[in-house]
Structure 1
């Protein structure tokens, strides 16, 4: 970036916070605005899986992958599928080293990201009222608390009902035809042993192939989140004359809806701690695109809210945030960065959204049971690991990328290991300086200690998994090549 832009992110969910963290690691200032009064102001929801090829790559860029792993639950990847009679249709237990889709509570993830931002980055209690484009491509932001600010880059990370999205598209979320009733089970192993046994360490999915399902997911600290899910009208409560605050009436209604289901599964309806929360599933049209507009873009649910099937929403939001931040740091202008980001994000999000929405439709379809409809988690995990490797190949300076460099010195070939972080890197463990990438061109300064101490300036061109360049010192220049992968 040739000038330092004023960057505003609206929304302090995982995508917005991740984007802010990576921007700050690149030395860029950013303000994040959120309606909540604080990071723990509301229930952030249940658990989610961060995938190796998206959410975990984003955490690498944020320098927080190790911290994530201290909180994550690899055992939470376990999944069991049942029919309405309680018959086990399939079961998956992850292998000991399987971390392809580690689980973490949403609240824990949000707190982790917020805690690693510069103090004061998030302006809590700021609900966006209007965002107005100005003639020079900037935006004026007015908040309901009276705060007014301007931004050279406005990033809408404010979820399904984004107030930033109308600057780019008239598209709005529509009801999918599926509603979830959210229930909570506390101290589950002691107080709700039947629920604990059904859910195990991970997830349980039960369906009757008639548009109804019971879903349980293990959270941390002895909690289970349960979902009573139905294909139904958006106003089903009004049609039934039902007040969800009346727990007894709600349970009676649900027992009728789930008549014929095994009594072993009924604790998901009858035994929750507290009342039910209605969560109708809304999705944006998919695939969704828009024409580029100066100084503004979207990430996460603001750009591509989709069904929760497959768990792609948060993963894509975080990857969106990391890629947008990298583009802002590396491109000469804000709009160059937006174009680069949207060129990748929009088609990728469209593909995942179509797939996730179709998968939910299949799960809640009224049809005969087909074993082929049950996902294969082991295959999905293998695919995620392969996709993560391919992502790093296509993004050669992404965090965690390692290269073997071969220098053609007068005394023969010398090998070194170059490892990239988000904003810098190391050569044989010694930090490099002045790291700069422009397109496929790379430049950095390094200090070597063998065969003698020397400061070198390296310039190189990257082509996929190969690098070709020259290292210049005060009195000499030598050629080098590089290949992706650790030094042998």
Structure 2
């Protein structure tokens, strides 16, 4: 009896979703290669902090055999949440996590990536492999063309390459559109020593404020870091329209001081006392719903499949997608059957969440009490607060 050859599986993107998928596949004895455009694991800042939820992100880590390691690295104190009055700076809502609470503990994105990378077999990730296109017949195998001129074949291509996914183009013509809201990110370092008043204002977790027209979201990370997002209803090119670039730090500070002029002095300092330049984050989302015809040789997970506003679900859904896809591949006889089973669950779930969050980013500008904020994963080179990008 002839045994069918093992399928060649290629994951595009070494973000949390892609690495989680690879880890679970390897735990089930399935070979996989991950391709990422970064030159190496330390090529760029991995962004801020993530809250991984018990009912999705943590489930995926359990399937990956990494939940206990995650809980040792996580910061449960990061679950604290404050909502502040924009004018007075006073606390108007305050959630303090109970002892032992681990519904959604925080972890720095870089530490999560290190945890996942260490769990993989050596040589799993091929760095400096920026995907250019996916070609070949729908039934496979597919040919992957990379920027360095190399070409490889795969029986299954998994697009975990984020908002501007190159893999998505093999399945769907959809592209992300600007939501009408943009973030301007500010970084603070060694905050307990260099910015003690701001550290006390935000606390060990996160703090938010809004006045109906503009908002602010601040979140502590590990190592004494703080990231703050000025949230505005502006066009995606608002900085250029004002005659500036994102490197014009003093000019952008002046704009923020004017636009937030009625806010409390402490909150204004969160926007203007930052260490170094700002980072522009126009917020994009895919059309609602985003689906595609079944293709047994290509599929998507995470933001490549269902980019939504950054409201605390993106990385969690990406990791849940990764878990379900990897388990489907372990449980089904053929790749096409596994992809069909995975998409039968993932697409309805993501469609429901897309409808729920469609337009919800406007809520970050509301002065009504709300108990959440952006998922501060903040990669350094994309326009969205989400995972690693393969442009």
- TM-score strictly above 0.5: yes
> 1:228 touches 1:268 (CA, 8 Å); kept in 2?
no
**Number of matched pairs:** 370
What's 2:279 paired with? 277
1:234 to 224, 233, 236: 236
How far 1:83 moved relative to its partner? 2.2
How far 1:152 moved relative to its partner? 0.4
What's 2:13 paired with? 11
- Relative distance call for 1:229 and 1:376 in structure 2 (3 A) is closer
What's 2:321 paired with? 320
Work out whether 1:375 is the aligned partner of 2:376: no
What's 2:226 paired with? 224
Work out whether 1:341 is the aligned partner of 2:342: yes
How far 1:247 moved relative to its partner? 1.4
- Relative distance call for 1:35 and 1:261 in structure 2 (3 A) is same
What's 2:59 paired with? 57
- Relative distance call for 1:283 and 1:205 in structure 2 (3 A) is same
1:146 to 137, 145, 149: 149
1:186 to 186, 189, 199: 189
What is the TM-score normalised by the length of structure 2? 0.92
What's 1:478 paired with? none
What's 2:301 paired with? 299
> 1:156 touches 1:164 (CA, 8 Å); kept in 2?
yes
How far apart, CA to CA, are the structure 1 residues paired with 2:324 and 2:4? 19
How far apart, CA to CA, are the structure 1 residues paired with 2:243 and 2:368? 36
> 2:20 touches 2:319 (CA, 8 Å); kept in 1?
yes
What's 1:354 paired with? 355
How far 1:107 moved relative to its partner? 1.0
How far apart, CA to CA, are the structure 1 residues paired with 2:288 and 2:54? 24
Deviations 1:140-177 (A, max 9, x none): 01111122110001100000000000111111100011
> 1:9 touches 1:31 (CA, 8 Å); kept in 2?
yes
The alignment partner of 1:101 has SS state of: coil
How far 1:135 moved relative to its partner? 6.2
> 1:134 touches 1:140 (CA, 8 Å); kept in 2?
no
Deviations 1:304-326 (A, max 9, x none): 111111x1000010011111000
What is the TM-score normalised by the length of structure 1? 0.74
How far 1:195 moved relative to its partner? 1.4
> 2:10 touches 2:35 (CA, 8 Å); kept in 1?
yes
The structure with the largest strand share of the pair is 1
Higher relative contact order (CA 8 A, sep 6+): 2
How far 1:246 moved relative to its partner? 1.9
Cα root mean square deviation, aligned: 1.5
What's 2:109 paired with? 106
What's 1:41 paired with? 43
2:84 to 55, 79, 82: 82
How far apart, CA to CA, are the structure 2 residues paired with 1:28 and 1:34? 19
What's 1:329 paired with? 330
The alignment partner of 1:205 has SS state of: strand
- Relative distance call for 1:189 and 1:127 in structure 2 (3 A) is same
The alignment partner of 2:357 has SS state of: helix
How far 1:138 moved relative to its partner? 1.5
> 1:2 touches 1:332 (CA, 8 Å); kept in 2?
no
Flag the structure with larger Rg. 1
How far apart, CA to CA, are the structure 2 residues paired with 1:102 and 1:2? 43
How far apart, CA to CA, are the structure 2 residues paired with 1:96 and 1:324? 34
The alignment partner of 1:233 has SS state of: coil
The alignment partner of 1:266 has SS state of: helix
**Structure 1 gaps, min length 5:** 378-488
How far apart, CA to CA, are the structure 1 residues paired with 2:50 and 2:328? 27
- Relative distance call for 1:81 and 1:135 in structure 2 (3 A) is closer
How far apart, CA to CA, are the structure 2 residues paired with 1:370 and 1:198? 20
The alignment partner of 1:217 has SS state of: strand
> 1:131 touches 1:141 (CA, 8 Å); kept in 2?
yes
How far apart, CA to CA, are the structure 2 residues paired with 1:136 and 1:200? 53
How far apart, CA to CA, are the structure 2 residues paired with 1:136 and 1:316? 27
> 1:15 touches 1:300 (CA, 8 Å); kept in 2?
yes
> 1:76 touches 1:202 (CA, 8 Å); kept in 2?
yes
How far apart, CA to CA, are the structure 2 residues paired with 1:165 and 1:59? 25
How far 1:89 moved relative to its partner? 1.7
